[in-house]
Amino acid sequence: MPDLSHHARQLRELADALDAQSELTEDPLAPHPDTLEVVDARHTSRGQINYAVPDALQLQRRIRRYHADHGIQHGDIVAIALDVFLRAKGYPPDLSSAKEEPS
């Protein structure tokens, strides 16, 4: 009998990734509730990310405008947008280790 444990592990990983994605809503860009919890947490540790992006997309100007209109901090806008994109592509965060750390 062939060893199917590798396939079973892959199926479990796929199921975990699907569970971590947002429920289907009318807004495909709606942030995941876990993401909002992390972003809204008062003592969330933060790290810097720096990437060169095309100037033609005017991302910095658009982020500043969105911040002015909605009051969401610049870093939170970027974090939510990247999280939604990466979850949609099948790359959810492993928040279980972050929840286990003492506050």
Q: Contact at 8 Å (CB) between 74 and 63?
A: yes
**Residues of 24-62 as b/e, b for ≥16 C-beta within 10 angstroms?**
eeeeeeebbebbeebbeeeeeeeeeeeeeeeeeeeeeee
Residue 103 has pLDDT above 50, yes or no: no
pLDDT digits (tens, 9 = 90+) for 68-92: 999 999 999 999 999 999 988 889 8
Token representation of residue 101:
């750390």
Q: Span 31-36, mean pLDDT?
A: 88
Residue 27 has pLDDT above 80, yes or no: no
